[in-house]
Chains A and B, each alone.
Chain A
Amino acid sequence: MNDQFEPVIIGFTCNWCSYRAADLAGTARIKYPPNIRLIRLMCSGRMDPTFVLKALAEGADGVMITGCHPGECHYLDQNYKALRRVLLLRRTIGQMGIEPGRVKLVWASAAEGVRLAQEIGHFVEEIRDMGPLNWPGRLAAAHVNGHGRDDRLMPADMMLEEVPA
């Protein structure tokens, strides 16, 4: 392979539409870049913003969240909640110095294998253009530089900390 940057992307799919779209892309042998690795959730409403932070903190360069089209969520309208969360999350990561474009929301119905594959292709290119995120590296560097932060205080882990009632 040449030495172009190969981003690593985590994709969250909902069980009913976008995961099936991914299945369909497979059945139809539609090719897309191997940079994305998918996780199945029951619904995009299950998307906890900390999952995204976790993925970025573990070394992903981008995160793609996919769900059913508005009005087609199999749990009525949970994808609207996902939409709200993603908008908020993009603002939050922006404030952390991460390009908001590293988190993308895509609607794909179970019939849209082609579209999902195309969206993945576009997203890989977008992230390739942004370059590596290297969040873990940056955090470790901050630690080495004596900023007093250690691994335990990585933002994702912070959010994971259980808050007692």
Chain B
Amino acid sequence: MNDQAEPKERIGVYVCHCGSNIAATVDVADVAVWAKERLGDEGVVITHDYKFMCSSLGQELIERDIKEEGLTRVVVAACSPHLHEKTFRTACARAGLNPYLCELVSIREQVSWVHSDRQAATEKAKAVVAGGVERVIHNEPLEPLHIPIHPATLVVGGGIAGIQAALELADSGHQVYLVEREPSIGGHMAQFDKTFPTMDCAACILTPKMVDAGGHPHIDLFTWSEVVRVDGFVGNFTVTIRQKPRYIDTDLCTGCGICWEKCPKRVIDDVYEAGLGYRKAVYTPFAQAVPKYPVIDPENCTYFINGKCRACEKFCPTDAIKFDQEEEFITVQVGNIILATGFDLFDARRVPQYGYGRLANVFTSLEFERLCNAAGPTNGQIVMRDGVTKPELVAVIHCVGSRDRNYNNYCSVICCMSSLKFAHLVKERTGARVYNFYIDMRTAFKDYDEFYQRVLEEGTIFVRGRVAEVTDAARLPSEDGKLIVQVEDTLAGRQRRIPVDMVILSAGLEPRHDAKAVAHQFGISCSANGWFIERHPKLDPVATMTEGIFIAGTVQGPKDIPASVSQGAAAAARVLGRINKGEIELEPVRATIDARHCSGCRICNGLCPFNAIIFHEDAMVSEINHALCQGCGTCVAACPAGAISGSSFSNEQIMSQIEGLLLFDRPVRSRHFSAV
């Protein structure tokens, strides 16, 4: 290091009081005076302490010093860089200093707010400032990266969130590719009869949107399809979509329905009918399906199984059945991607004491949705498993699989409301006596609590307590032939056994079973629970850590339809902003390989989580694609040749910061400093 030599840089250090937030615990004036005295040899030429550095006067102070004192580096000791790094960098830029030559070190979150000993806190603040000063010397002027944006967008998942996102984008005149795994778009919402809290019919509000999306001139809809490959990076992804064979020529098919009428093979429909009803081997999941064309499910089709049948082919009036159709791979270019792949329902079999799958008249929430849907297997009749008997006593159990250490700790958000919806529908349609078993009633959001009041007034009985067991083992004559709900009523403070005819389990929401694989495919991450992680839980809920990949709806966490729709629209707005601008600026926190030092060992190649490192076979060196690199720095740490440097987090910066932080603790004098 530059022993005794003239310091290269002219550094300004600014210590913030943050009102009394910092000044109450740290002697800020002392830190400023000390920095000027002790860090002068490092190039510190000016230091200030100031009430509020982030105020316009504070910023002007920095700007004036840059101009008048010719500062070449700035260190601000204040709050967390996550709060105000941008503020101070922008101030520097205004004064003509490259913004990346400014470091913000935290003496509030990391010093004054977490320590109480004034002397120790002041000493630590000094060390933190010295670390920042040593580091900033090695900061390099950087320019943001400019990446052009392809105007088309990929939306994966055609539930309500994906549909909303696709429509927003397409309505503003931009191309959208909407990929849905099932034969029709619609997602879970298409399974419901009524939606809380307004109880409007789900199909009536969803169908128009589905039809809009299906017929939109700017939406290319790929149903019965999956994304199999994603290459490239923000602005320009190349996406390969696998279109499974429908065995139907969609140019000829009119959606008349004769094929599924004639098909002799009945199959239990686990997806749309939640296992409660049947479909045929050639089918559309529901009457309002978009697109209207059916698919033949080869796993169940008699012709695919034993080579005989072809009834559908015989009867199809337009000769649209094509048994020789093959899967197709379609490649599209897009600038951004929105993932809206939704949720799976918690598998109620995992709570054996509630008897689902063992006790016939225990139903899941989705089964119940189908049961009361006019287009469902019972034409909307709420009946027991025998298909005829109306229940007289019904139990609705909240929080199944949610808020439970054994399953999921989180609250699934919608189940209190859907349980209330069930109570209301049972009352309205059967007049049965309804018990709702809840832990806490969660009816936040607009008009939700009003709905709760309404259900209370309708006479539903609310029992507060987690149900211990649902059993058919009667102890009393009155329990004979019933399901008995055993619960500790925590308001009455006693155990209760309540006999009922039917039990509805409000199972929670879980991440899709394949969420991890999908996250991996698109280069984003999942939380420990498996929900996709947003860039910021409060301030950036629809962006992800991977540039160009957005998330919307229940993929991000449990939520209701209004919130899913809002996120779909929000994700679309984020994408639109980029399309309109034509390019984005990216933080230049990137790694770079110095080809002269690269030995071509390829160690780094496999480490990069974003496949940003390419190997040039001809020159035998690796190179980093800056649009793909997200700057994690793993390769920098791994390169045995030291050929990779990471901007903003270079070895020199970090090593010097370590030196700075420890400058005044070294028991032995190795530098031109003496210990404090």
Contacts and interface: CB of A to CB of B under 8 A. Distances in A.
Q: Do A and B bind each other?
A: yes
Interface of A: 1, 8, 10, 16, 19-20, 22-23, 25-27, 29-34, 37-43, 45-51, 54-55, 58-60, 69, 71-78, 81, 85, 109-110, 117, 134, 136-137, 140, 151, 160, 162-165
Given A43-B633, A81-B634, A165-B643, A25 B662 contact: no
A55 B657 CA distance: 10
Contacts of A77: 609
B634 A37 contact: no
Given A72-B528, A140-B668, A31 B533 contact: no
Nearest to A12: B654
Contact of B111 (A16, A34, A45, A54): A34
A133 to B, nearest CB: 10
A145 B630 CA distance: 48
A71 B526 contact: yes
Interface stretch (B120-128, B277-285, B408-416, B557-565): B120-128
Interface string B522-545: 010111100001000100000001
B110 A38 contact: yes
Interface stretch (B166-174, B322-330, B392-400, B593-601): B593-601
A48 B665 contact: no
Contacts of A110: 537
A164 B668 CA distance: 31
Contact of A42 (B597, B632, B638): B632
Contacts of A10: 658, 661-662
B528 A69 contact: yes
10 contacts: A20-B82, A26-B110, A34-B117, A45-B632, A46-B646, A46-B649, A50-B651, A74-B533, A136-B666, A151-B670
B642 A32 contact: no
B658 A22 contact: no
A140 B667 CA distance: 10
A38 B110 CA distance: 8
A72 B116 CA distance: 32
A26 B533 contact: no
Contacts, number: 171
B332 interface: no
B116 A31 contact: yes
Contacts of B109: 22-23, 25-27
Contact of B108 (A16, A26, A47, A60): A26
B264 interface: no
Contacts of B666: 58-59, 136
Contacts of B111: 34
B114 interface: yes
Given A31-B115, A34-B117, A34-B120, A76 B525 contact: yes
B658 A51 contact: yes
Contacts of A85: 637
Interface string B612-651: 0000000000000000001111101110111100100101
B635 to A, nearest CB: 9
B81 A117 contact: no
Nearest to B113: A26
A54 B655 contact: yes
